[in-house]
Amino acid sequence: MKNKKIFFFSVFKYVVPAEYEQWFEELATTGWHPAKIGQFSSIAMRFEKSEPRKYRYVVDMQATPKKNYKQTYEDFGWEYVGKMASAYVWRKEYTNERPESFSDNSSLKARNHRFIVAISVSFTIFVLSTLAFLAVAIFSDLSSSERLQFGIASALFLVFAVLLGLAMIKIKKNIDK
């Protein structure tokens, strides 16, 4: 039986942090655990099969964490799984009550809001790129085939911008989760 699996673009499938956590947890109950989470895990994440475990996973966005960030989580018994860009992944094994890292509504909302802010940065870059390529395609004095290339690039960037925009709306709708 295969004991290794790679999941592609998992982050983009489960954009709502709470849903992403559940995805990890369901895999853990069937014995699948991430081998390593790093910079490119949002594109491809390797999982390995071992014992099924009841884990509580937590994802947290911290662009500029302070020195005591990791220490605080570790003091509370959380295990550091890894981080992708500025998104930290933590987990904790439990038996009865599912542990929470964000124990009140306002800090949970703040966590989700940090994800929206992080996505908005990429969103802005994609929107500006779309406009820049479009401007070149329309106003430059390039040949028509070159213009077409810029037009295609513009369309591609627009697709990404729309996807990121939709992701932000989805998180906003689930801000309390």
Partner 1 sequence: MNYDAIKKRFIPMSETMLYILLSLKEEKHGYGVMLHVKELTCGRIVLGAGTIYQSLGKLEADGLICPTREIERKKLYLITKIGEQILIEESKRIKEICLNLEAVL
Tell me the three state secondary structure of residue 172. Answer: helix
Based on the shown chain and the rule CB under 8 A, indicate whether residue 146 belongs to the binding site for partner 1: no
Contacts of 38 (CB under 8 A, 6+ apart): 82, 83, 84
- C-beta closer to partner 1: residue 99 or 151: 99
Based on the shown chain and the rule CB under 8 A, indicate whether residue 64 belongs to the binding site for partner 1: no
Q: Which of 58, 167, 168, 171 binds partner 1 (CB under 8 A)?
A: 58
136/30 Cα distance (integer angstroms):
51
Based on the shown chain and the rule CB under 8 A, indicate whether residue 60 belongs to the binding site for partner 1: yes
- Record the tokens describing residue 39, joined without a space: 């910079």
Contact map string, positions 97 to 116, toward partner 1, x by CB under 8 A: --xxxxxx-xx--xx-----
Based on the shown chain and the rule CB under 8 A, indicate whether residue 20 belongs to the binding site for partner 1: no
174/16 Cα distance (integer angstroms):
7
- C-beta closer to partner 1: residue 46 or 177: 177
